């Protein structure tokens, strides 16, 4: 009886381990200090920023998300009786798995349109990150209740993955938004075998 139960239990464990989106072995050439997004991408640390949230629990849904913060946390009123935590600057990185490369590009286009609705934007330009060309939008100003007054957002694809890298800055951030975003992009690495 015990032998019959061991094989199904072992198969269940193996199947569940395969659903995590994480690999046990690091991708060759990736440093342990980098923040990994399964075996899809990794980001090197950027001076002046510390890792905030890393939501790798969303990986089975085909989503990876993390943010990095700079400066002291402060509570800002948001809506009726609500508050949000804001920093001098906050960098958000998002990977979203799509059906195919065309769907990934469609997701990027939707993100670009949403960014233009949320912020007054400058003229788009291109920047390189992880061997990919990103479309970068300067974010010139946000709504009155937004604690982040400016920034820059970059969008690209990696095979079936839609990629968003967004830096939001408050008045207390002394750095240059474009230069800081480009530093993040310079530390971005993609696993070429994971593009789908």
Quick one: how far is CA 178 from the chain centroid? 17
Best CA proximity match to 69, nearest among 42, 95, 88: 88
> Over the chain, what is the mean pLDDT?
83
19, two tokens: 């659903």
- And the tokens for 169? 């800055």
Residue owning tokens 């951030």:
173
Q: What are phi and psi of 16, to 5 degrees?
A: -65, -40
Tens digits of per-residue pLDDT, 57-72?
Answer: 666 678 999 999 999 8
| Residues 138, 120 contacting (CB under 8 angstroms) | no
Cα separation of the two ends of the chain:
42
**pLDDT digits over 66-123, tens only?**
999 999 888 887 766 678 888 999 999 999 999 999 999 999 999 999 999 888 999 9
């Amino acid at each position: 009886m015990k032998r019959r139960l061991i094989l199904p239990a072992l198969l269940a464990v193996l199947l569940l381990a395969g659903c995590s989106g994480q690999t046990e072995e690091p991708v060759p050439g990736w440093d342990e200090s980098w923040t990994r997004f399964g075996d899809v991408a990794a980001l090197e640390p950027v001076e002046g920023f510390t890792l905030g949230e890393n939501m790798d629990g969303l990986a089975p849904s085909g989503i990876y998300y993390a943010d990095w913060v700079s400066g002291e946390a402060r509570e800002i009123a948001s809506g009726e009786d609500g508050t949000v935590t804001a920093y001098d600057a906050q960098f958000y990185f998002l990977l979203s798995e799509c059906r195919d490369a065309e769907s990934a590009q469609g997701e990027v286009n939707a993100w670009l349109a949403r960014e233009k609705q949320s912020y007054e934007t400058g003229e788009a330009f291109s920047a390189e990150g992880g061997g990919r060309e990103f479309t970068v939008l300067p974010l010139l100003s946000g709504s009155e209740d937004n604690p982040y007054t400016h920034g820059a957002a970059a969008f690209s694809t990696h095979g079936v993955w839609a990629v968003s890298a967004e830096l939001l800055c408050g008045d207390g951030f002394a750095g240059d938004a474009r230069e800081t975003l480009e530093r993040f992009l310079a530390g971005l690495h993609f696993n070429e075998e994971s593009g789908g």
